[in-house]
Amino acid sequence: MNLRQVLAANPTMKYIMFGGKGGLGKTTCSAAAAYHLARQGHKVLVFSVDPQASLSDIFQRDIFGKGAVEIMPNLFAQEIDADRRIQDYQKQIKQQILDRYGFEKVPDEIESYIAAASSEPAMEESAIFDAVVDIVFTGAYDYYIYDLVPLGHALYYLSMSTIYDQWINKITELRAEMQRYDRVVARMKSESTSEEDEILNELQEIRKRINLSSSVFTDKEKTGFFFVVTPEEMTILDTVKAGDLFSKFGVPLSGYVVNRVLPESLLKENIPSYLRHRIEAQREPLRKIHDVFHGKVVGSVGEFERDITGLEMIRKVGEQLFAE
């Protein structure tokens, strides 16, 4: 079954993710899938959550941090600016402090604390995580194509969503217990208890957003996760390990796309010896890919004569990816 057939057999699948090690062609496959679906009349958003995003390069458009940019009819692309997202967080927190405590300006020690917290590596990842929720739950598109971060970071998001959820559950239970205690004390003192627990409400809102984001990764009806692999022994081993880890988090593995395959037909031509050697060397990895991922290889994309940039090259990749 190829990628076109997978989507046809799963009409509710609207979140398409391409994952794998860095440098294997996730961005290329993401852009090609988005282009192909847009040409079929679907409204599509392809977006990157990778700080080293290259959608701007492949589409030859400056889209970084500019929201959803229309590339062509039905096709929109977006690169998330985590730094701007963090700056927005800082402004929001400072304004809350000013409003709640009536300060004319945020105290210097609090300014320093906010700046230090914002420089933590986890803050960038949290900002991206939050931005994904805003993007995918607008419901404005028929398909959302994820150009995922490399495997390690993607697994970090999945694991942290579980940890955050467990932590917030525990804190929420404690806050709820404190509320019950406060009500008992208030009744004994005949005091009003109408004031809402703002911290508890905020924690519950955070938990809701985390659960929404996690549900996208694990919804077997709406989500398709495709690993990009190349005909190289080490890449195959890494992909097998990653697939096992993703399965533990309940991510539905929908298939594997083999990228950068050199055509055997070139052996009939007068080609340099190094190229002949490369074609012969990929035979065993290709056999292993089809053995290890038996029945799950949904697409094959050849090695092109130049970098995949611009809509014409993206179109060529899409034709191969969807076996058109």
> Across the chain, what does the average pLDDT equal?
84
- 3-state secondary structure string across 281-312: HCHHHHHHHHHHCCCCEEEEEECCCCCCCCHH
pLDDT one-digit tens code per residue, 199-236? 667 667 766 776 777 777 788 899 999 999 999 999 99
**Which residues in the chain land under pLDDT 70?**
50-53, 117-118, 120-126, 129, 149-168, 171, 175, 179, 181-200, 202-203, 206-207, 210
The predicted model scores a pTM of 0.82
Render pLDDT for 257-282 as a digit per residue (tens, 0 to 9). 999 999 999 999 999 999 999 999 99
- Say which CATH topology domain 3-84+122-321 has: Rossmann fold (3.40.50)
Question: Please, are residues 165 and 214 in contact by the beta-carbon 8 Å criterion?
Answer: yes
With H, G, I as helix, E, B as strand and everything else as coil, classify residue 12.
coil
Do 194 and 222 touch, CB atoms closer than 8 A? no
Domain ranges of the chain: 3-84+122-321
Q: How far is CA 99 from the centre of its chain?
A: 35
What pLDDT score does 194 carry? 46
Q: Are 276 and 28 in contact (CB under 8 A)?
A: no
Cα separations (Å) of 198 from 47, 96, 210?
Answer: 33, 12, 18
**Whole-number Å distance between alpha carbons of 136 and 269:** 48
